[in-house]
Amino acid sequence: MSSVSLTRKHKNALSAMLRVGLNLPLVALIILPLAYTFMMSGMPASELYSRLIPTRMDFISYTFVFTKTSIPRQILNSFIVAGSVTLLQMATCSMAAFAFSFLQFKGRNFIFMCILATMMVPWEATIIANYLTISSWGWLDTYRAMILPYACSAMGIFLMRQNYLTFARELHEAAKLDGCNNWRFLLSIVIPLARPALGALGAYVFLLQWNQYLWPLLVTNSDKVRTAQIGISQLFDIDSEQIGLMMAGVVVVLVPSLSIFVFMQKQLIDGLMAGAVKG
Amino acid sequence: MQARKPQPPILNPGIKKGKKSLYEHIEPWLFMLPALLVFSVFLFYPLFKTIYLSAFLTNSVGQPKVFYGFKNYLDILTGRYSASFWNSMWVTLRFVFFVAFGSLLLGLTTSLLTSKKFPGRAFASAIYAMPIAIASAAAAMSFKMIFHPSIGLINRLFGTTVNWLNDPAWAFPVICMISIWLASGINYIFISAGLRNIPDELYESASIDGAGYWRQQRHITLPSLSPTLFFQIIINVIGAFQSFTQVRLLTMGGPNETTNVIVYSIYLDAFRNFRFGSAAARSIVLFVIIMIVTLIQFRAERKVHYQ
């Protein structure tokens, strides 16, 4: 008996070792671009052209990012834009989803289908017309040009509605009997219950907005409102001081999105699962 | 048994039977108002405006000037811009193919490798999923350094002198590779979730029957996972069609338009050449393609649900 369990133990240990061995190179490969970026951000300027791996790290480039470039301002802009879009979507999507799951009215299914159908419209296909609209309103180079077009999403409505549909109908009836109107019911009962779904929506939307590139590129032209993703892409230059600066800029801009990934992984993945309906 | 007494009607003072008040009629619309406003102004209106614009020649600020009918479409399909358009379609299709399947394969491999326990599994999982959090602009800047001809990591590591992003033979595969890396995270997350949903008993009974690792993968994993894989390919295809950032930051569609994917070509047409009408026509082509792909997905999903 003991010999059988021993071989099984050996077999398990062997397969675990095999797994470690197979995973190591893949993990290294996936993490390589980031590790390299981080390494270059701390490489002393004197070693940039002569060495592949620095003998020591210095973090002067990070000081430069915060004192010599527009990155701090652009990070603030990114936070303003991504934060506003996130809050707006949480509000507009939970309201619309409420109508689609708790209220009865004519044309409800038709309108819901219309909203779902917008998932078929790639944002890139409407970008020219949207750009012309925004510029004809004189909105170029403003926060609202980056915020309002994203103030609602079909995916968000869908996610929130799916969540509301799991609530008991009796909840709504009971609230009505108690004389609670729909707005108060949404605010004080539905939203607190839907917190996990709202968290998922929030994490997902914030990340998507933080990582935006094309739209902010089109509608901004000054550092006043320009976002950080545009900012780091303009730092490219290969003179020795600039390399460290540029790579430090990339690291700094990655910190917020990686933090969301690390600290809100569950919410983020739930949001992604729902958002992938759109792709 | 006692005969049932007729129940008194339940009185619900809160719920008025019969006619709804005017406010109750408009209330749902108040809840939907912000959403409908955003969709109307920034989605439906621009979609129709794009169709409208695609029938005009515009001036350099995008105002329609000359009615042009279907000629913008003819110009890109068979006329004066057709060479560039078909090149861009061909580049896009190849790009979509490689990225959709490449990231699927990478995601499948990493998912299978982390499906069972081993020391460091949580860490490996986190790394495999991590690219979802990485902005394509930030990634592009890192890869710009990695592939830099004189100081880049790749050339120094392998002792080569290739100008990767400027070489007509290399720019396209490099852009594909970067896009696969970027898309691998979401593939890992979805495929891992799909793997977790396969009941363990299937594998247990198979290994009792003496089926080895590869046989189990072929006869259990693959069939059970195929709806997930199909769904994931569609997501990859839609995502890849919309790629722009890495192209704009690394190759500007070049060299010789070898990386001129469709969204980049729309951008060039409208914001570099100021041909908004023709760019609108390209946008409609993109819209139709994505619509078809999405409809295929809807139809297939219905089949899966009803079978």
Q: What is the CATH number of the domain that holds B157?
A: 1.10.3720.10
Q: Please tell me the distance from the alpha carbon of residue A247 to that of residue A236, in angstroms, as a whole number.
A: 9
Question: B141 vs A236: CB contact, 8 Å cut-off?
Answer: yes
CA A239 to chain CA centroid, nearest Å: 32
Residue B133 φ/ψ region, left for φ over 0, alpha for ψ in the -120 to 50 degree band, beta for the rest: alpha
| Residue of B37, B38, B92, B121 to mutate, interface with A, max A Cβ within 10 Å | B38
Is the model's pLDDT at A258 over the cut of 90? yes
Q: Which residues of B touch A250 (CB under 8 A)?
A: 138, 141-142
CA distance B231 to B296: 10
Is A46's Cβ below 8 Å from some Cβ in B? no
Q: With CA atoms as reference, report the closest residue to A214 among A235, A198, A232, A229.
A: A229
- Amino acid at residue number B198: I
User: Which residues are paired to B67 by β-bridges?
Assistant: B56
- The answer to whether B127 contacts A126, with C-beta atoms less than 8 Å apart, is no
Task: Give the one of A19, A131, A133 whose C-beta lies nearest to B113's C-beta.
Answer: A19
Domain ranges of chain A: 2-60, 61-275
The CB density around residue B280, as the number of other CB atoms within 10 Å, is 30
Q: Does the beta carbon of B26 lie under 8 angstroms from any beta carbon of chain A?
A: no
Q: Is A53 on the interface with B (CB under 8 A)?
A: no
Strand partners, B109: none
What distance in Å separates residue B17's CA from the closest CA in chain A? Answer: 13
Residue B213 lies in a domain: yes
Interface test with B, best of A8, A23, A50, A239 (most B CBs within 10 A): A23
Q: What whole-number distance in Å separates Cα of residue A69 and Cα of residue A76? A: 13
Q: Give the per-residue pLDDT at A218.
A: 94
Our CA-based measurement puts residue B276 at a distance from the nearest CA of chain A, in whole angstroms, of 7
- Enumerate residues 178 to 197 of chain A having a beta carbon within 8 A of any beta carbon in chain B: 178-179, 182, 186
- Residue spans of beta strands (DSSP E) within chain B: 56-58, 64-67
pTM summary value = 0.89
| Whether complex ipTM tops 0.95 | no
Average pLDDT over residues A156-161: 92
Q: Cβ neighbours of residue B91 under 8 Å, at least 6 residues apart?
A: B172, B257, B258, B259, B260, B261
Please list the rounded mean pLDDT of every run of 10 residues in chain B (307 residues).
48 54 90 96 94 88 84 86 91 96 96 90 93 94 91 88 92 96 94 89 86 86 89 91 94 91 94 90 94 86 55
B247: Cα within 13 Å, side-chain hemisphere: 27
Neighbours of A262 (CB within 10 A): 12
Q: How far apart are CA A90 and CA A277, in angstroms?
A: 18
Closest among A215, A97, A235, A77 to A167, alpha carbons compared:
A97
Chain B contacts of A134, Cβ < 8 Å?
none
Q: Cβ(B152)–Cβ(B165) under 8 Å?
A: no
CA-to-CA distance for A29 and A59, rounded, in angstroms? 25
Residue A1 pLDDT class (50, 70, 90 cuts)? very low
Would an 8 Å CB–CB cutoff place A116 in contact with chain B?
no
Mean pLDDT over A25-37 rounds to 94
- Min distance A155 CA to chain B CA atoms (Å): 12
Q: Are A42 and A252 in contact (CB under 8 A)?
A: no
Fold of A61-275: MetI-like fold (1.10.3720)
SS3 B66: strand
The answer, yes or no, to whether residue A279 has pLDDT greater than 50, is no
Q: Identify the pLDDT of residue B191.
A: 93
Q: Which residue in chain A is spatially nearest to B301 when comparing CA positions?
A: A277
- Which of B125, B134, B150 should one mutate to test binding to chain A, selecting the residue with the greatest count of A CBs within 10 A? B134
Round to whole Å and give the CA distance between A73 and A225.
Answer: 8
What CA–CA distance (Å, rounded) separates B224 from B230?
Answer: 11
Higher-confidence residue of B72 and A151: namely: A151
For residue B230, give its domain range.
87-271
Nearest in space to A115 (alpha carbons), one of B35, B27, B296: B35
Within an 8 Å CB–CB cutoff, is residue B99 touching chain A? no
A279 in contact with B, Cβ within 8 Å: yes
Residue pair A223/A232 in contact by the 8 Å Cβ criterion? no
The values of phi and psi at residue A44, to 5°, are -60, 140
Name the average pLDDT for chain A: 89
Q: Cα(B90)–Cα(B98) distance, rounded to whole angstroms?
A: 12
- Do the Cβ atoms of B141 and A125 come within 8 Å? no
Considering CB atoms only, which of B119, B129, B150 is closest to A16? B119
Burial pattern A240-255, b for ≥16 Cβ within 10 A else e, equals bebbbbbbbbbbbbbe
Residue B228 with chain A: CB contacts under 8 Å: none
Does the structure show a pLDDT above 70 at A5? Answer: no
Q: Name the nearest CA neighbour of A247 among B150, B144, B129, B178.
A: B144
Length of chain A: 279
Indicate the number of domains in chain B.
1
> Residue B202: exposed, middle, or buried by beta-carbon count in 10 A (0-12, 13-18, 19+)?
middle
Residue whose C-alpha is closest to residue A125's, from B36, B38, B43? B43
- Domain presence at residue B74: no
Cβ-nearest to A272 among B28, B142, B186: B186
For residue A85, the distance in angstroms to the closest alpha carbon of chain B comes to 12
B241 close to A (CB below 8 A) = yes
Higher pLDDT pick, B300 / A108: A108
Residue A105 at interface with chain B, using a CB cutoff of 8 Å: yes
Written as six digits, the tokens of A201 are 């929506």
d(CA B265, CA A66): 35
Secondary element (H or E) of residue B250: helix B245-250
The answer to whether the Cβ–Cβ distance between A254 and B118 falls below 8 Å is no
- Report yes or no: A265 at the B interface, CB cutoff 8 Å: yes
Quick one: which of A32, A150, A181 has its CA closest to B146?
A32
Closest-CA residue of A relative to B248 is A214
Q: Which of B133, B267, B279 sits opposite A207 (nearest CB)?
A: B133
Contact B31 A182 (CB under 8 A): yes
Q: Which residues does B284 contact at the CB level (< 8 Å), separation at least 6?
A: A125, B50, B51, B54
> What distance in Å separates residue B2's CA from the closest CA in chain A?
31
Q: For an interface test with A, which of B36, B142, B148, B150 has the most A Cβ atoms less than 10 Å from its Cβ? A: B142
Rounded to whole angstroms, the maximal C-alpha distance in chain A is 82
- pLDDT confidence bin for A243, thresholds 50/70/90: confident
Q: SS3 for B204-249, per residue?
A: HHHHHCCCCHHHHHHHHHHHHHHHHHHHHHHHHHHHHHCCCHHHHH
Determine, yes or no, domain membership for B196. Answer: yes
In this structure, is residue B201 part of a structural domain?
Answer: yes
- Closest Cβ opposite residue A30 in set B39, B127, B294: B127
- Locate A169 and state its tokens: 């109908």
Q: Look-up: residue for tokens 């995601």?
A: B107
